[in-house]
Amino acid sequence: MPEPTKKTVSSFTKKPKSQTAEVGATVVFEAQTEKEDAKVRWQRDTKDIIGSDKYTISAEGNKHSLTISNAVPEDAAGYAVISGGSKVKFELKIKQAEAKAPVKAAEAKAQAVVETPPKAAPPADAPSDPPADGPAAAPAPTEPPAQTSETNDHAPDTHDGTHEENQQPDTRQDLTGLFSEKPQSGEVTVGENITFVAKVCGESLLKKPTVRWFKGKWMDLSSKSGKHLQLKEHYDRNTKVYTFEMHIIAAKANFAGGYRCEVSSRDKFDSCNFELTVHEVQAVEGFDIRAAFRRTSTDSGDAGELDFSGLLKKRE
């Protein structure tokens, strides 16, 4: 008798579904694993996705999500989420339905421009008026453009000049206002938990800020979520504050070192460095009763007798 085939049990209790979005929209794919703290990978065209301004990967318990910001036609592709031996495929399609409205508006403007020249034809019948009006009217339109051109010429020079000077050394310092609360350095004992918190005020931001956590200089922790690391975020609609948290669970000695938190929103950027110190567990020093009762021949001549008075003094 042939053995019955065993059905493979999926690691996902909730699978992401294919979606269709418009250009410029934000798309969120959600998945839920059977086990908490399960390692999850997201892929696009069989290549792993790394968290960035474009892709935001989050994990909270057994809930996982992939957020694609400012969708463009190039984002239309096949995606997948992987956990253990399970792989779920889904697609993202981009439509450009709203592109027709600007075309119609442009056509209407073109028609209006074409219709306006015939209205200007009658003044051509009076040759004496245009010369008289010409010199008087000419300075009026020419002066404002001259002023605007000067302001436009000087504005980029002053603005771009200062921006270019500050861009490399001072950009991060000038934009430190993004953080309303920076993560602070902390200490923890091996096996204990610690949470680092970063807060960003979103009242003046046009786009949701993106936060990335790093260990050292280049290790991106967005894809390291699991048993010992969880990245969480939430938004308070009342205060309009985004809160980003990095939870380190059951810390190990090799978790110690320098960390960095980066936040960006469109053309704004800010970063903050902090340290994590991990202490070894210290053994509790107690009274060794066995050493106290150990018989020695140095304290008394008789090695077979115990000095209980001496023991009581040591105990006190």
What's the Cα-to-Cα distance from 92 to each of 19, 40, 43, rounded to whole Å? 5, 19, 12
Q: Which two tokens stand for residue 107?
A: 């056509």
pLDDT reported for residue 175: 47
pLDDT reported for residue 277: 95
Alpha carbons 200 and 244: distance in angstroms, whole number: 8
pLDDT reported for residue 37: 79
- The three-state secondary structure class of 2 is coil
Residue 276, number of CB atoms within 10 A of its CB = 20
Alpha carbons 34 and 61: distance in angstroms, whole number: 10
pLDDT reported for residue 142: 46
pLDDT reported for residue 105: 53
With tokens 């008798």, the residue in question is 1
pLDDT reported for residue 128: 46
Tell me the one-letter amino acid at 86: S
Alpha carbons 110 and 95: distance in angstroms, whole number: 26
Helix intervals (H) in the chain: 100-120, 129-137, 139-174, 289-292, 308-315
What are the helix and strand counts (H, E) for the chain?
Answer: 5, 18
pLDDT reported for residue 193: 95
Q: Which two tokens stand for residue 219?
A: 């290790």
Measured distance between the N- and C-terminal CA atoms of the chain, rounded to whole angstroms: 79
Give 10-residue mean pLDDT values along the chain (316 residues): 62 91 92 87 92 89 91 91 90 75 53 50 47 45 43 39 38 58 93 94 85 89 88 90 94 93 86 93 65 52 56 58
What's the Cα-to-Cα distance from 101 to each of 97, 116, 135, rounded to whole Å? 9, 23, 41
pLDDT reported for residue 179: 87
pLDDT reported for residue 161: 38
Q: Does residue 67 contact residue 56 with C-beta atoms inside 8 Å?
A: yes
pLDDT reported for residue 180: 87
Task: Give the pTM.
Answer: 0.37
| E strand or H helix at 200 | strand 194-201
pLDDT reported for residue 305: 56
